Amino acid sequence: MRRALSGLFIAGCFAVVSSWAAWGCLPDPPIRLPDLSVAGSPADGGDGGLARLDGPRSDLGTAGWQAESGLGTMQTLRAAWVADASAREVFVVGHAGVILHLSGGSWQKESSGTDANLYAVAARTPTEVFAVGDRGVILRRVSGTWQREGSELASTSPLFGLSVLPSGEVIAVGDNGLIARRQTAGVWVAETAPALAGLALRSVAGPRLDALFAVGMNSAIVRRGQLGWELDPLPIDGAGRGNYYAVATNPADSAPVAVGEYGLILSRRADRWQVEKRMPPSGMTAPLHLYGLSVAGDELFVVGAGGYVARRLASGGSWTEEASGTRADLFSVSGSSVSGLVSVGENGTLVRRQ
């Protein structure tokens, strides 16, 4: 199938569009006043040349992405957390404080107590879930109720990335170099380091507190070791500098992978950040920006503009594009199993891989 993908645009990187456009800078996925939002998907006919393959041979032709109905919202959805391999329990967050919860086979809206855009959600178990967003909002769900946390940070900087560690500690990252850590005692503290000054961070991942990586705008890559946060010392391949929107670590070796604008995919090797790029599908007239990634089993999945989905082995190899069934921009993908992945995006879009 082919369809014309037109009229899609991404507004500037921050508030000043014209001055950054010349640098090729891209916004955090979506900008709609008053907060980050999403550029609209094309509404014209055809398929924009977003032809996909049906999946690798390991799927035996049976795997596919299907749109989820009954969500009850048209708000842009920014992130999902999947509790189990079959995606029977899922939490989704989005713009205007939207929180959705799948449990018992049906979707329910839950009250967030805020109208701030929510950009990330994460947990260890469904009994304690965290979400973060604009204006420094931090939410914690216990006993089925979402409550505000983090007042001790005294910060209104937006938070975009979130990770809950096996230790129970929680890490959130955002603008102005803010990295907030919830200690096991339940107290939030701001982690400080010279390397963090002025950074606009978008995502954080890692297996433990002393092995974290955070990425963001303007080629920002920082890591946390035993002595705290520092700029990652490894060089980035020349073609790999830009804005990075998501990072994940491979459970097999804890090696991080980051994705970003113009199809950027970076893998941290022994001596450098090695770069590869995904090219836009034939007929795609807008840039292919990659906004989300997830490691499921031994495979890496990426999602992005125009409903783009692709996968490969986490250890490397060739990519296979998959038909997502949507032209909407997809901003995250989550799940521990290749048959239980969930991806969310603009205008209330949610697709599941089964």
d(CA 283, CA 124): 41
Per-residue confidence in pLDDT tens, the chain, 354 aa: 333 333 333 333 333 333 333 334 444 544 333 333 333 333 333 333 333 333 343 454 556 999 998 999 999 999 999 999 999 999 999 999 999 999 999 999 999 999 999 999 999 999 999 999 999 999 999 999 999 999 999 999 999 999 999 999 999 999 999 999 999 999 999 999 999 999 999 999 999 999 999 999 999 999 999 999 999 999 999 999 999 999 999 887 889 999 999 999 999 999 999 999 999 998 888 999 999 999 998 999 999 999 999 999 998 899 999 999 999 999 999 999 999 999 999 999 999 998
Buried b (16+ CB within 10 A) or exposed e, 6-45: eebebbbbeeeeeebeeeebbbbbbbeeebbbbbebbeee
- Write the DSSP string, 10-27: ---SSS-HHHHHTTT---
CA angle 78, 179, 12 (to 5 degrees): 50
Q: Which of 349, 354, 311, 352 is nearest to 331 (CA)?
A: 349
Q: CA 334 → CA 40, 143, 183, 248, distances in Å?
A: 23, 23, 25, 11
For residue 53, how far is the Cα from the chain centroid? Answer: 23
Gyration radius of the chain over CA positions:
19
Tokens of 282: 């034939």
Q: CA 324 → CA 71, 74, 349, 351, distances in Å?
A: 18, 18, 11, 7
Query: What order do you get walking across the sheet with 179-182 strand by strand?
Result: 159-164, 170-174, 179-182, 188-191
SS3 state of residue 85: coil
Tokens of 228: 């705290």
Q: State pTM to two decimals.
A: 0.84
d(CA 243, CA 270): 22
Please count the CA atoms within 13 angstroms of the CA of 203 that sit on its side-chain side: 28
d(CA 123, CA 129): 5
Domain covering 17-52+65-353: architecture: 7 Propeller (2.130)
